[in-house]
Amino acid sequence: MRDASVFGHAVPQAGHTGSVMGAVAGVVEDGSDDCLSLNVWSPAPGRGGLPVMVWIHGGAYLQGSSANPHADGAVLAAAGVVVVSINYRTGFEGFAHIAGAPDNRGILDQIAALRWVRHNIEMFGGDPGNVTVFGQSAGAGCIAALTCMPLAAGLFSRAIAQSVPGTFFTPELAAAISAAITGALGVHATVEDLASVPPAAFIDATQAIVTTMPRFADVWGPMALTPTPFSPVLDPEHLPQAPWQALNNGAARNIDLLVGHTRDEYRLFTTHLDRDPTQEQVSEAITRCRGLPDDGRYRDAYLDATLAQLHEIVNADWLFRMPSLHLAHAQHAGGGHAWTYELCWGFDSDQGASHSLDFLLVFGTLTTDDIQRHPTAYPNAVAEAVKVAGHMRADWVRFATTGNPGWGAYEPRARTTRVYTAQPFTAAYPEERSRRIWQAHHFDALSPHIR
């Protein structure tokens, strides 16, 4: 028995101040080493048989906490589901490749939480046989991995992946990144060498690498242009294939999948830039992201786009939009069912339908103040936000309850997609120009460039 009236400690990450940050071993006085906790919201603990939705937060595989107020489950639970949110190891401790330790320790934490749900959620009114995992960004990447990991088989029957990152690593790339981080500490990336290193040192060394990652682009490839040095790592035992190949081979044919993205995924990462990219920088981005020389297809497809807009579209496609679409395609090819969506609504003219906005709407935690404080908020944005959020939340709950969100499943010819605007509608996939450019691309685990 324990006091469950407050959120548990966050896992070690930048900005964390618990004693565990400086600890090497043993139990610290403030209890911050006991950080792998979860939370439950239930609309009717005594009722039983309610669908269960387990939230896996994002945060670039570097940070995050289930105590994030934007992921408060009260509004979503009130719609008729039991909501669970979890902490899992992030950053170096959760995702770095360490000799002598299993890979993807953060995802193994998620599997442990799902086992807890299987054994205990009935006491909170939930149905352990009707569990949906849902997550966004890095959380969606973890969910893509969970759908094809043997250890997770049978722990959930439905999955909602919001903005799936296209970055999974080979062990060789993950090892090269770990070596760069631990080299700054004067140790090797082995269990023995790292046993005496406190979490704060890992985090500081990781942050130092993040600021210099673009310098490694010629060796580490396009992942060096992202905001994180971590992603799920392939390993023969737990994650033998990247999810696009695994789902194409039928690994998740018994899992219902809802997957999608926002229209302006990369806008969130460009609003701070003080100058537009050059023609050469755009061409270089196209070449790195697609793995092919810039053949002019983007310019031909987006004749009305400025260089800044083209740079944004290319990065949005590679990092989130096309990996999400291709995951739906792979699920269909493997004999499973998938549904796709795109959020095209935004409340301001700067960020539009930006990365992360969809999960705020689903949880109902985008407040009136959040909108009205923004200097370029639209006059009718508050009223529209309520409507769009209500539609998305109802569809997510319907999917978790029945396995069908309310529109036609994905198939390669029609590509039926739910498009969330102020007045949601169903149509063919909206980003047809990008889809054609990427239709022959095969998303797979990224490897280091050999020179």
Distances (CA, A) of 120 to 34, 84, 87, 129, 285: 20, 12, 17, 12, 48
CA distance linking residue 291 with residue 175, whole number of Å: 22
Using the 8-state DSSP alphabet, how is residue 409 labeled? P
CA distance linking residue 4 with residue 37, whole number of Å: 10
Active site residues: 137, 265, 355
- Reduced to 3 states (helix: H, G, I; strand: E, B; else coil), residue 68 is coil
Q: 76-113 burial string, b = 16+ CB within 10 Å, else e?
A: bbebbbbbbbbbbbbbbbbbbbbeeeebbbbbbbbbeb
Distances (CA, A) of 130 to 79, 86, 211, 230: 16, 18, 42, 31
In the sheet that holds 50-56, the strands lie side by side as 38-41, 82-86, 50-56, 126-136, 158-162, 256-262, 338-343, 416-420, 425-428
CA distance linking residue 332 with residue 326, whole number of Å: 10
Closest CA to 91 of 225, 1, 165, 181: 181
Give the helix/strand (H/E) hosting 127: strand 126-136
> 123 CB contacts (<8 Å, ≥6 apart)?
45
Specify burial of residue 389 (Cβ count, 10 A radius: 0-12, 13-18, 19+).
buried
